[in-house]
Amino acid sequence: MNTSLATEDPRATTPGLPAALSRHLEVATLFTRDSPLVLESGRSLSHVQVAYEQYGTPSPHHDNTVFVCHALTGDSHPAQHDPDDIPGWWDVMVGPGRPIDTDVFHVVSANVLGGCAGTTGPLSPGATGRPLGPDFPEITVPDIVTVHRALLAHLGIGRLHAVVGGSLGGMQALEWLLRHPGDARRFVLIGTAPRLTTDGLAAHAVGRAAIRSDPHFDDGRYVDGLFGPGPRQGLGIARMVAHLTYMSPESLEAKFGRSVQIGSEPVGPAHGRYAVERYLEHQAGKFVDRFDANTYLHLTSAMDRFDAFARPHVLSPDADPAVHVFSFASDRLFGSDVTGELLDELTATGLTEVTHYRDTTSSAGHDAFLLEVPGYLDELRAVLTPPAV
């Protein structure tokens, strides 16, 4: 596989990148016309661009690398590299002295295939030079993992210390475990599931319908509206629907109750006056400034189709990594029944070390995996810490 690094500043050559990216972002170009990425759909991609970031220092034996898989709307920037860097989406987890301690571990995180923060996706140019948009091929979670593994090969990294991910990132880690168990000593699956529930499928369906019904969607060919006009209203509504699944009823009640947003205009039957509505609108506004609607369609669809145990796994006594599952009692997206199914199916594979930590202290819901939850963070630190020599 021929690989090459792009220019030092990917903003200069990468279409569609949002403005707020860390200066530490790197870009690798993987695969060629002669050796393309063959997707599960049967279609192929050559010259796949992958945006990634690295933290910490590889050990002399290259055995201290942790790969961090991001969730649906994440990117390659889980944490600040220094005080002058932009905030990361997982600063509570990654960094000096954090559970994924960058003074101990070398960390790699990459924007997923189909993403909109530097990795090849719907924003990438097609043969005409314009973004592929709806012509970008259907992708799956296994396709995403294939690209992650190609990136690690490009970087010369062999067996990982750990693969860690939450939500969609946890699905990636689970897929990686079942199909390539020898790649890491441990796999950490956080707030995730072997498949979406019907409730989860329904939430995604509503979000995608909102995007498609936006008058600016133009069948996905809104190329002149990249991070501009485009289907902003529909994408914002999709974010609002999804955000409700990320929070628990208890956290919504505690944060907002029935409080009225002082000075909120307009009000009346068509416009609510409640603080929770203004909060969701605010979240939607922030989201549409950094995310792409076609990317949202592709990635939610990949999540919908994921069914981890529907295909044979390749676990064997020769590759029996430790597996650590983390869940949250307040998570209504992936509740206790879902976690129970995941644990039962993992155990049925014959894995000899499967642990489960269930947090009961946070009322934050699914989003708790991103937050400062002391017991959860301490336990994750414990399962990642290398044994004393």
Q: How many CB atoms lie within 10 A of CB 254?
A: 11
The more confidently predicted of residues 358 and 10 is 358
User: How confident is the model over 105-113, as a mean pLDDT?
Assistant: 98
Which pLDDT tens digit goes with each residue over 238-291? 999 999 999 999 999 999 999 987 765 666 666 678 899 989 999 999 999 999
For residue 4, pLDDT beyond 80: no
pLDDT at 317: 73
For residue 116, pLDDT beyond 50: yes
Q: How many CB atoms lie within 10 A of CB 350?
A: 11
Which pLDDT tens digit goes with each residue over 38-83? 999 999 999 999 999 999 999 998 899 999 999 999 999 999 999 9
**How far is 136 from 90, CA to CA, in rounded Å?**
29
**How far is 381 from 359, CA to CA, in rounded Å?**
15
For residue 129, pLDDT beyond 90: no
The more confidently predicted of residues 263 and 129 is 129
For residue 7, pLDDT beyond 90: no
Domain(s) of CATH 3.40.50.1820: residues in the chain: 4-198+311-384
Place of tokens 């907002």: 256
> How would you classify residue 249: left for phi > 0, otherwise alpha for psi between -120 and 50, otherwise beta?
alpha
Q: What Å distances lie between residue 71 and 21, 25, 119, 172, CA to CA?
A: 17, 18, 15, 9
**How far is 51 from 65, CA to CA, in rounded Å?**
17
pLDDT at 384: 96
Q: What Å distances lie between residue 33 and 41, 106, 119, 140, CA to CA?
A: 17, 32, 18, 21
Q: How many CB atoms lie within 10 A of CB 170?
A: 28
pLDDT at 127: 84
- Annotation: CATH topology of 4-198+311-384: Rossmann fold (3.40.50)
pLDDT at 389: 40
Helices (H), the chain: 141-154, 168-179, 198-213, 232-246, 249-255, 275-288, 293-305, 336-348, 374-384
Look up the pTM and report it.
0.93
Burial 43-58 (b: 16+ CB within 10 A, else e): eebeebbbbbbbbbeb
pLDDT at 318: 77
pLDDT at 20: 67
**HSE-CB of 58 using CA atoms within 13 angstroms:** 15
Please state which of the ranges 134-148, 269-283, 369-383 shows the lowest mean pLDDT.
269-283
Contacts of 350 (CB under 8 A, 6+ apart): 315
Which pLDDT tens digit goes with each residue over 293-318? 999 999 999 999 999 999 988 887 77
pLDDT at 3: 41
Split at pLDDT 50, 70, 90, the class of 176 is very high
Split at pLDDT 50, 70, 90, the class of 128 is confident
In degrees to the nearest 10, what's the CA dihedral of 315, 317, 318, 319? 40
**How far is 247 from 169, CA to CA, in rounded Å?**
18
Which pLDDT tens digit goes with each residue over 319-364? 889 999 999 999 999 999 999 999 999 999 999 999 999 999 999 9
- Annotation: CATH topology of 199-303: Rna Polymerase Sigma Factor; Chain: A (1.10.1740)
**Would you please indicate which residues are annotated as catalytic (active-site) residues?**
167, 331, 366
pLDDT at 5: 40
Split at pLDDT 50, 70, 90, the class of 233 is very high
User: How confident is the model over 131-157, as a mean pLDDT?
Assistant: 96
Bridge-partner residues for 42, per DSSP? none
Nearest to 261, CA basis, from 245, 280, 244: 280
**HSE-CB of 241 using CA atoms within 13 angstroms:** 21
Q: What Å distances lie between residue 297 and 77, 265, 360, 371, CA to CA?
A: 22, 32, 33, 26
pLDDT at 103: 96
**How far is 268 from 289, CA to CA, in rounded Å?**
28
Do 134 and 221 touch, CB atoms closer than 8 A? yes
Do 89 and 70 touch, CB atoms closer than 8 A? yes
Order of strands, sheet of 65-69, starting from the edge strand that comes earlier in the sequence? 4-5, 26-30, 48-55, 106-110, 65-69, 160-166, 184-190, 322-328, 354-359
Which pLDDT tens digit goes with each residue over 187-198? 999 999 999 999
**How far is 354 from 323, CA to CA, in rounded Å?**
5
Of the ranges 58-67, 217-226, 379-388, which is most confident? 58-67
Domain(s) of CATH 1.10.1740.110: residues in the chain: 199-303
Mean pLDDT (the chain) is 91
Q: Amino acid identity, residue 317?
A: P
